[in-house]
Structure 1
Amino acid sequence: MISYLFGILSIKGKFEYFKMFLVLLSSLPNIDKRIKSIFQTIESVEDIVNIIIGGGAASLEKRASYSLEWLEQNGRCLDHIYSRLSDIPSAGRGAFSRRFIKKGEVVITSPLLAFQKSQLEEFYDKNNKIVPPPDFESRQVILNYCFSHPKSSLALFPLTHAMLINHASVRKGSNRHPNAKIRWATDHTETQKS
């Protein structure tokens, strides 16, 4: 999504709209402070390029430092996939594996930003004042990179390269078929408490 928006905004020369988009995402209610900090580290077009090419917000020089103990307890290795132009025409960038991933193995983990689709109609700035929503195309792009169902009001936005997975493969011949499936984590202690 970032790569698609970056392409549109760089053509139009309107980086300020992208900043509004980031403010929009960070203003959605119930956002974890660690996730909100990702949006706050982006200050320039160069930061966006570093995120796209470098493998996510962690590629920014301004990234936060965590202890080895914290990383061992909370971290997940994400270096086995990378971003490049998709093999699918007009699909923008996609996620690609650096090495073979067996059937059933985890391709990538990602925290998800959950929000109601109706929240794309009203946005707030840092001072909690209502600001005009982005144009329809920008709102649709956000939804295109979310996991959702047409009959559901809930949208889940991945905050890693999971957003770049185009859900297709040439592995089964000329037809393109999904080569991965989405599943909920079962090992995260915070989500497994009864």
Structure 2
Amino acid sequence: MSIPRIMISGTHSGVGKTSVTLAILAGLTRAGLRVRAYKVGPDYIDPSYHTVATNRASHNLDEWMMGKDACQWLFEKTSQDCDIAVIEGVMGLFDGVSPTADEGSSAALAKLLKIPVILVVDAGKMARSTAAMIKGYQTLDPDIHICGVILNKVAGESHLKLLTEAVEAYNRIPVLGTRF
């Protein structure tokens, strides 16, 4: 199955991935697309927000609790009637039940379902270091495809210019959006 899909993940909890996810879900829905939302992990609050934003039920995908086969089956079954699937990650991209393996993380699900990742980054009080942090996320696991970033807590236009130039030069991925 080749339903277009994207994961919104973050560098850590509290970075703004739920707000970003909801904005994307609402925008795609308003554009007339049939959007199916998902949440990595056993969360029940975020999927209720997803449902409001899309007017369609959101589903949890947790490969640690459900197993890989069940996650794959549920995703394939519930995404058949949509134009795009948007998956909101849990905690930071690589955070799960193990300090040295993917188990239970957003990264594990991204690899299992071959989902490109948009990384939400708290860029407050940083400039070029933002590019270094993103480089770490890009290189920790070469099987994860980070296709772009959204920068949160940007101080203003001049800060955004510095961040964008650094991220695009060092990471070779686009800055897709920002929040001041």
Q: Indicate the TM-score class for this superposition, using the shorter chain for normalisation.
A: under 0.3
Q: Considering only CA atoms, is the larger Rg found in Structure 1 or Structure 2?
A: 1
- Point out which structure has higher relative CO (alpha carbons under 8 A, 6+ apart): 2
More strand by share: 2
